[in-house]
């Protein structure tokens, strides 16, 4: 299994710059690259990455996407004087040529291809390329929006050609619509293109009809172009996450890409003068973490826009450290998408219903312009990612954003040393466990007795049971003391281990513990009810405790052979978990589990996005394959292949729908459609 993260950067790409006055283009500065790289250095991330050199993309490679004419025009600018350069630049919407532009653009293409090669050849698992000029506005025959050659599109065509790939996902989280990329792939079903973008009902540049949610692709490519328009500024962390849960991720898992490429613009981050959005840097850690679960972890992140230098730099660092497998920082802000975002989500789901199996039984209906028509409905930035952020962006001011970010990033701490997983197990079991996993010594009887003394006496009555809790205590202790980030314990009584873990962590000071129980679990009454949220996934209907907002019973039996659990995880469990914002996640796997190994691993991997990746897994059934898979998911290595995509049955979809209706007032990240008032 490939490991490591590639980082591609070459100072040469800072030589491309604007030589004359142009208020539209003057934000695309060389410092975007150099200061991002400096920021990576200062967080000691550069030395943790595998350095991969750039190269020039060849003419042949550029012609995979662009016309010969376009290439020749670009080439001819190398020897031009300023006046001539200015004249050619005026032929395009928002582009500037410098004598070094052609060379830099070829390096940007080459950097993207080097990254694809490193990932596809298995030299690294994933990576990021810091490039200029950017690419996603560039079209077959035209430069546009600071872009000369479409780096990401060329990378995708190259990967198809050189490695015979049949399914590539491009995620464009830049705040502008990559219309260039859309045009290149709109008839191509082998490339699924997703873009969200500031749109404001076509008011915002490039103001195209075809950037709206109803542009779903053409001909054979129908269904493989996904546009999520932002019709308000001020969108924040919860809006971005809601789109991932309710639109992008279900489609991506159904599509099952062999490679994921990110058109990684950070102008969708807070403080950016172009985007005017409110999403804070740590959201990019979450987005990256989600995409790492696809394509066996093969993820190529290629820089596009991003014009607030501090915001850009912090967001780049969040992305790279997540690629490296570090714990995912806690997301900040109230977890509820705004109305305008939910409207866009509802519309794009309705537009795509004919093309995607997972949407087949969802009720989707179009809803147009509601938020703009009604004066009663709240504005996007009345629900910002953080209160501080809203004060800043309401009265937009770059200096204030810088100050905000400085304070904010101090609160977003990554535990050092990163990624450590503890597990109990017999001597010699190391070699089936992935890297970064340490075996812990179990406590002896006297140690456990001393620890338990009275505090757990009502839960633990027999000495024999007590002994079995040895690994639970020792691993949990390491998690709480931040010696490790997460851990797995084998236990003959998972329900009891979970109950003890819960009490132990509440005693430690945690306010919110998320407990996900898989299989038949005996519910052990607890005194900490207010400080936990239980989601019980099992085959049999659990009648007890229903109606309580902190106990959710999800009857689910995974389809044999296939894997239909995605819809439950993405459409329900994750939105609830993100709404809850736990300090710790406990996952207990008991007997008669209704989920397979890959379903459980997916659950573990995705829940690693919560609680700064603090996860305690306790498994009653010590099946070695399950332990190994869960260990891999915990250290951030990739999850096992999911098998053939099996859409959920109508009955299952209805079950999720009912739960969503029941809980979406409480757990607001569940909202994927606007309440019609009935
Ligand atoms: C790559 C990128 C933005 C162009 C804006 C022109 N381009 N108004 O972010
Ligand atoms: Zn952009």
Q: Are residues 403 and 452 in the same domain?
A: no
Residue 62, pLDDT > 50, answer: yes
Please report whether residue 662 resides in a domain.
yes
pLDDT in tens, 313-362: 999 999 999 999 999 999 989 999 999 999 999 999 999 999 999 999 99
How sure is the predictor about 387, in pLDDT bands with cuts at 50, 70 and 90?
Answer: very low
Q: Is 106 helix (H, G, I), strand (E, B) or coil?
A: helix
- Ligand 1 neighbourhood includes 178 CB (under 6 angstroms): no
Q: Are residues 117 and 252 in the same domain?
A: yes
Kindly give the distance from the C-alpha atom of residue 36 to the centroid of ligand 1, in angstroms, as a whole number: 18
- Could you tell me if the ipTM is greater than 0.95? yes
Q: What is the mean pLDDT of residues 507-515?
A: 92
Please report whether residue 283 resides in a domain.
yes
* 137 included as an active-site residue: yes
Query: How many angstroms separate the Cα of 654 from the Cα of each of 355, 603, 651, 658, 669?
Result: 20, 21, 5, 6, 18
pLDDT, position 677: 44
Closest atom of ligand 1 to 134 CA is 1
The closest alpha carbon to 357, from 249, 254, 256, 215, belongs to 254
Query: d(Cα 284, Cα 407) in Å, to the nearest integer?
Result: 18
The closest alpha carbon to 136, from 156, 114, 166, belongs to 156
Look at ligand 1, atom 6, and give the residue with the nearest C-alpha. Answer: 145
Worst-scoring range by mean pLDDT, 29-43, 58-72, 547-561? 547-561
Residue 254 has a CB neighbour count (10 Å cut-off) of 18
Q: Are residues 472 and 405 in the same domain?
A: no
How sure is the predictor about 11, in pLDDT bands with cuts at 50, 70 and 90?
Answer: very high
pLDDT in tens, 237-282: 999 999 999 999 999 999 999 999 999 999 999 999 999 999 999 9
Question: Are 269 and 362 in contact, with CB atoms under 8 Å apart?
Answer: no
pLDDT, position 383: 42
Closest atom of ligand 1 to 147 CA is 1
Q: Is 624 helix (H, G, I), strand (E, B) or coil?
A: helix
Kindly give the distance from the C-alpha atom of residue 209 to the centroid of ligand 1, in angstroms, as a whole number: 18
Question: Are 619 and 494 in contact, with CB atoms under 8 Å apart?
Answer: yes
Q: Are residues 25 and 148 in the same domain?
A: yes
Q: Are residues 194 and 245 in the same domain?
A: yes
Of 381, 411, 441, the position where a domain reaches its end is 411
The closest alpha carbon to 502, from 536, 520, 476, 466, belongs to 476
- Ligand 1 neighbourhood includes 269 CB (under 6 angstroms): no
Please report whether residue 416 resides in a domain.
no
Query: d(Cα 123, Cα 4) in Å, to the nearest integer?
Result: 8
Ligand nearest to the CA of 94: 1
Residue 676, pLDDT > 60, answer: no
Please report whether residue 677 resides in a domain.
no
Query: How many angstroms separate the Cα of 603 from the Cα of each of 464, 574, 590?
Result: 31, 9, 15
The closest alpha carbon to 305, from 218, 178, 181, 395, belongs to 178
Please report whether residue 149 resides in a domain.
yes
Q: What is the CA radius of gyration of the chain?
A: 25
Tokens of 195: 């873009």
Q: 65-104 burial by CB neighbour count: b if 16+ within 10 A, else e?
A: bbeeebbebbeebeebeeeebeebbeebebbbbbbbbbbb
- Ligand 1 neighbourhood includes 205 CB (under 6 angstroms): yes
pLDDT, position 418: 44
pLDDT, position 536: 94
pLDDT, position 623: 79
The closest alpha carbon to 274, from 463, 602, 24, 12, belongs to 24
pLDDT, position 466: 76
pLDDT, position 378: 42
pLDDT in tens, 200-225: 999 999 999 999 999 999 999 999 99
pLDDT, position 166: 98
Worst-scoring range by mean pLDDT, 110-124, 418-432, 463-477? 418-432
Query: What is the span of the domain harbouring residue 634?
Result: 421-670
Q: What percentage of the chain carries pLDDT values higher than 70? A: 89
Greater model confidence, 199 or 2: 199
pLDDT in tens, 141-172: 999 999 999 999 999 999 999 999 999 999 99
Question: Are 208 and 176 in contact, with CB atoms under 8 Å apart?
Answer: no
Please report whether residue 333 resides in a domain.
yes
Of 411, 438, 469, the position where a domain reaches its end is 411
Which CATH number characterizes residue 331's domain?
Answer: 3.40.800.20
- Ligand 1 neighbourhood includes 304 CB (under 6 angstroms): yes
Q: Are residues 558 and 584 in the same domain?
A: yes
pLDDT in tens, 80-89: 999 999 999 9
The chain-wide mean pLDDT, for the chain, equals: 89
pLDDT, position 568: 93
Please report whether residue 515 resides in a domain.
yes
Give the count of domains, the chain. 2
Of 352, 377, 411, the position where a domain reaches its end is 411
Kindly give the distance from the C-alpha atom of residue 146 to the centroid of ligand 1, in angstroms, as a whole number: 6
Question: Are 165 and 258 in contact, with CB atoms under 8 Å apart?
Answer: yes
How sure is the predictor about 550, in pLDDT bands with cuts at 50, 70 and 90?
Answer: confident
Q: Are residues 285 and 315 in the same domain?
A: yes
Q: Are residues 309 and 169 in the same domain?
A: yes
Q: Are residues 274 and 165 in the same domain?
A: yes
Residue 392, pLDDT > 60, answer: no
Please report whether residue 47 resides in a domain.
yes
Look at ligand 1, atom 9, and give the residue with the nearest C-alpha. Answer: 305
Q: Are residues 81 and 144 in the same domain?
A: yes
Look at ligand 1, atom 3, and give the residue with the nearest C-alpha. Answer: 145
Helix (H) or strand (E) holding 75, with range, is helix 68-76
How sure is the predictor about 615, in pLDDT bands with cuts at 50, 70 and 90?
Answer: very high
How sure is the predictor about 375, in pLDDT bands with cuts at 50, 70 and 90?
Answer: very low
Q: What is the mean pLDDT of residues 74-78?
A: 98
Q: Are residues 202 and 114 in the same domain?
A: yes
Q: Are residues 426 and 407 in the same domain?
A: no
């Amino acid at each position: 299994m490939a490991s490591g993260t590639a980082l591609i950067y070459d100072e040469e790409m800072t030589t491309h710059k604007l030589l004359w006055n142009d208020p539209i283009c003057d934000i695309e500065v060389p410092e975007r690259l150099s200061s991002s790289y400096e920021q990576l250095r200062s967080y000691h991330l550069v030395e943790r990455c595998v350095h991969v050199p750039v190269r020039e993309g060849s003419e042949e490679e550029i012609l995979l996407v662009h016309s010969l004419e376009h290439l020749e025009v670009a080439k001819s600018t190398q020897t031009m004087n300023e006046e001539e350069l200015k004249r050619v630049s005026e032929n395009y919407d928002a582009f500037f040529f410098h004598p070094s532009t052609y060379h830099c653009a070829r390096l940007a293409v080459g950097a993207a291809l080097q990254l694809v090669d490193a990932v596809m050849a298995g030299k690294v698992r994933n990576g990021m390329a810091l490039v200029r000029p950017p690419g996603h506005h560039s079209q077959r025959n035209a430069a546009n929006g600071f872009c000369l050659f479409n780096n990401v599109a060329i990378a995708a065509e190259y990967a198809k050609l050189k490695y015979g790939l049949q399914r590539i996902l491009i995620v464009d989280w830049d705040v502008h619509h990559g219309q260039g990329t859309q045009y290149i792939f709109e008839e191509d079903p082998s490339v699924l293109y997703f873009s969200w973008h500031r749109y404001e009902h076509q008011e915002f540049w490039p103001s195209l009809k075809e950037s709206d949610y109803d542009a779903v692709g053409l001909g054979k490519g129908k269904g493989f172009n996904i546009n999520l328009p932002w019709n308000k500024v001020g969108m924040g962390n919860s809006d971005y996450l809601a789109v991932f849960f309710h639109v992008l991720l279900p489609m991506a898992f159904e599509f099952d890409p062999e490679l994921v490429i990110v058109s990684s613009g950070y102008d969708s981050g807070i403080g950016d003068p172009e985007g005017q959005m409110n999403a804070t840097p740590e959201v990019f850690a979450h987005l990256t973490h989600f995409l790492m679960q696809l394509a066996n972890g093969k993820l190529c992140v290629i820089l596009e826009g991003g014009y607030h230098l501090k915001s850009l730099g912090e967001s780049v660092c969040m992305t790279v450290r997540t690629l490296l497998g570090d714990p995912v920082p806690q997301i900040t802000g109230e977890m509820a998408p705004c109305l305008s975002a939910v409207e866009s989500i509802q519309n794009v789901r309705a537009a795509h219903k004919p093309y995607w199996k997972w949407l087949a039984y969802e009720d989707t209906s179009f809803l147009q312009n509601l938020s703009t028509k009604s004066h009663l409905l709240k504005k996007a930035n009345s629900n910002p990612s953080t209160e501080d952020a809203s004060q800043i962006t309401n009265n937009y001011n770059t200096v204030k954003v810088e100050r905000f970010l400085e304070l904010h990033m101090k609160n977003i701490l990554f535990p050092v040393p990163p990624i450590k997983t503890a597990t109990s197990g017999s001597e010699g079991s190391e070699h089936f466990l992935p890297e970064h996993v340490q075996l812990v010594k179990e406590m002896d009887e006297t140690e456990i007795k001393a620890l338990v003394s009275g505090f757990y006496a009502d839960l633990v009555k027999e000495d024999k049971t007590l002994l079995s809790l040895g690994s639970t205590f020792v691993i949990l202790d390491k998690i709480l003391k931040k010696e490790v980030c997460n851990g797995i314990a084998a236990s003959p009584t998972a329900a009891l281990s979970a109950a003890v873990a819960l009490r132990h962590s509440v005693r430690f000071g945690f306010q919110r513990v998320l407990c996900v129980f898989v299989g038949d679990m005996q519910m052990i009454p607890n005194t900490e009810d207010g400080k936990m949220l239980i989601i019980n996934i099992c085959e049999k209907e659990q009648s007890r405790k229903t109606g309580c907002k902190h106990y959710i019973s999800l009857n689910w039996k995974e389809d044999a052979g296939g894997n239909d659990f995605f819809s439950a995880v993405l459409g329900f469990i994750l939105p609830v978990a993100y709404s809850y914002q736990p300090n710790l996640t406990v996952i207990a796997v008991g007997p008669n589990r209704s989920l397979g190994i890959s379903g459980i691993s997916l659950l573990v991997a995705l829940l690693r996005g919560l609680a700064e990746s603090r996860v305690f897994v306790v498994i009653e059934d010590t099946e070695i394959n399950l332990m190994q898979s869960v260990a891999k998911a915990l250290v951030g290595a990739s999850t096992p292949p999911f098998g053939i995509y099996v859409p959920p049955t109508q009955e299952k979809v209805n079950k999720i729908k009912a739960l969503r209706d029941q809980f979406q007032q409480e757990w607001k990240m569940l909202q994927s459609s606007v309440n019609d008032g009935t």
